[in-house]
Structure 1
Amino acid sequence: MSPIEKFQNLLSSSQNIVFFGGAGVSTESGIPDFRSTDGLYNQTYQYPPETILSHSFYRSQPHEFYRFYHDKMLCLTAQPNAAHYALAALEKEGKLKAVITQNIDGLHQKAGSRNVLELHGSIHRNFCESCGKFFAASYMADAPDIPRCDVCGGTIKPDVVLYEEGLDESVLQAALQYIRQADMLIIGGTSLVVYPAAGLVRYYRGHKLVLINKSTTDMDTAADLILRYPIGETFEKAGFAR
């Protein structure tokens, strides 16, 4: 039996699937990841991305933060790929119970997924730090330099979790519960090195752990199935072509 056939059998025999994904889920949509050869960490800026995307840098150098944010994080033209649509289809069938994502691009929702737990926030939610007014991502994209509130003039901050900031405890707890209860856990497009998010997958207690990732991870030895194809291609091979 081929790995794809085994994946198909695991999907068909499961009724409580949870998907945990990272940046690799969106690379086939044209959004760069962080750690691949062409990822953000291997591009040259005056400061490394992990410094720019930190809370202290956001406070001390907002002009440079927003220049990077506009250039690299606001990928508003990106469209869902086969992986996003496959997960939405599995949810519609009632088999997939939750998508837990480290991504902030909103592509899972754009593809039709409803129960999406965004561990690191979303570019589509932005709030004035002074009066709390909500702003869409399009407003952020059109804003010159530092985005300002059109009501009070306050700085608008994207609802994304920066380095040095804590994750939303309610989202963490919900993700933990879904993973604990899952009969199948699919981990896709993540190197599992960003904590505390990556630590959540260790709470899975089932025997259908599937890893879809082009590189090795610390969970490889625990996996019941490893697929080394791009994740969208994997779902297409499994019969989930849109």
Structure 2
Amino acid sequence: MNFDPDLLDKLRNSRHLAVFTGAGVSAESGIPTFRDALAGLWAKYRPEDLATPEAFLRDPAMVWQWYASRRAAIAAIHPNPGHHAIARLGQLLRRLTVITQNVDGLHQAAGSGRVLELHGNIHRNTCFACGREATPEEAAQDATPPLCQGCGGMLRPGVVWFGEALPAEAWRQSVEAVEDADLFFCVGTSSLVEPAASLPRLARSLGCAVVQINPDATAHDAVADFILRGKSGEVLPRLLDAAFPAA
């Protein structure tokens, strides 16, 4: 794969790279995207029917068990070359911020330092009633779902459900990172979920160079200065090797 010399120069000299990742990055590790059909015991459900506050209130045990099955599946999955390449960028550049829509924690597992999670993290749990983050011991109770030791409310997965706002602090820091960045990578995201999908547009409006890395065309192509077709686990390692051959 040949890369534009201007892109290689911008990457080598970047003061602050913001990397925005979506489900396509995790899919390369074997994690189904949220819009993939469910399988096994959950085949009769749509993800949208399980990932809402209303679904949890209607049948909290079922929703808790579904997320427990997802956690178990993710626990056996490892970061892929795309995750590792992004973590390596954090070592090569002056500043790197990872902004992710994924909830699996694979960026952290690969070694990335500053990771802003716009949709939460499936490995954490919070109280549905008071919002307090639960300890691992609380979440390991036999009750389905376990109960908050602070107020007695039901624990829920620490992810953002349909109809809920993004975590305010993660969103604020993400916008600030984009405003400060001089280079923006958009990696493996379909650009369907707002307001997260507005970040590439924000970057472009501020004069930041935008790089789109995706096997398929998306709406982000319209704001990209550079479009790299392919999977992140294939494109990113080659891009790093081209930009930093001696590293």
Q: TM-score, normalised by structure 2?
A: 0.83
Distance in 1 (alpha carbons) for counterparts of 2:4 and 2:82: 14
Q: Which moved more, 1:40-49 or 1:105-114?
A: 40-49
* Count, aligned residues: 237
SS of residue matched to 2:219: coil
Distance in 1 (alpha carbons) for counterparts of 2:219 and 2:197: 10
Q: 1:27 Cα shift?
A: 1.4
- Equivalent in the alignment of 1:99: 98
Distance in 1 (alpha carbons) for counterparts of 2:222 and 2:154: 46
- Equivalent in the alignment of 1:214: 215
- Equivalent in the alignment of 2:15: 15
Distance in 1 (alpha carbons) for counterparts of 2:15 and 2:184: 11
**Structure 1 position 203 matched with structure 2 position 202:** yes
- Equivalent in the alignment of 2:244: none
- Equivalent in the alignment of 1:148: 146
Deviation readout 1:69-114 (Å, 9 max, x if unpaired): 2233551122111122222222223434210000111111111112
Change (3 A) 1:47 1:154: same
Q: Which moved more, 1:57-66 or 1:142-151?
A: 142-151
Q: 1:164 Cα shift?
A: 1.2
Letter aligned with residue 64 of structure 2: Y
SS of residue matched to 2:212: strand
- Equivalent in the alignment of 2:239: 238
Q: TM-score, normalised by structure 1?
A: 0.84
Match of 2:60 among 62, 69, 76: 62
Distance in 2 (alpha carbons) for counterparts of 1:40 and 1:145: 28
Long gaps (5+) in structure 1? none
Assess if the C-alpha contact under 8 Å between 2:124 and 2:157 holds in 1.
yes
Which stretches of structure 1, 4 residues or longer, exceed 6 Å deviation after superposition?
Answer: 41-44, 142-145
SS of residue matched to 1:220: helix
Change (3 A) 1:157 1:128: same
1:1-242 equivalent positions in 2, closer than 5 A: 2-3=2-3, 7-35=7-35, 39-40=36-37, 45-74=43-72, 75-129=74-128, 132=132, 134-136=134-136, 146-149=144-147, 151=149, 154-204=153-203, 205-239=206-240
Q: 1:5 Cα shift?
A: 6.0
Distance in 1 (alpha carbons) for counterparts of 2:87 and 2:133: 31
Letter aligned with residue 11 of structure 2: L
Assess if the C-alpha contact under 8 Å between 1:184 and 1:206 holds in 2.
no
Assess if the C-alpha contact under 8 Å between 1:99 and 1:115 holds in 2.
yes
Letter aligned with residue 3 of structure 1: F
Change (3 A) 1:221 1:133: closer
Q: Percent identity?
A: 36
Query: RMSD in angstroms over aligned alpha carbons?
Result: 3.0
Assess if the C-alpha contact under 8 Å between 1:185 and 1:210 holds in 2.
yes
Assess if the C-alpha contact under 8 Å between 1:4 and 1:237 holds in 2.
no
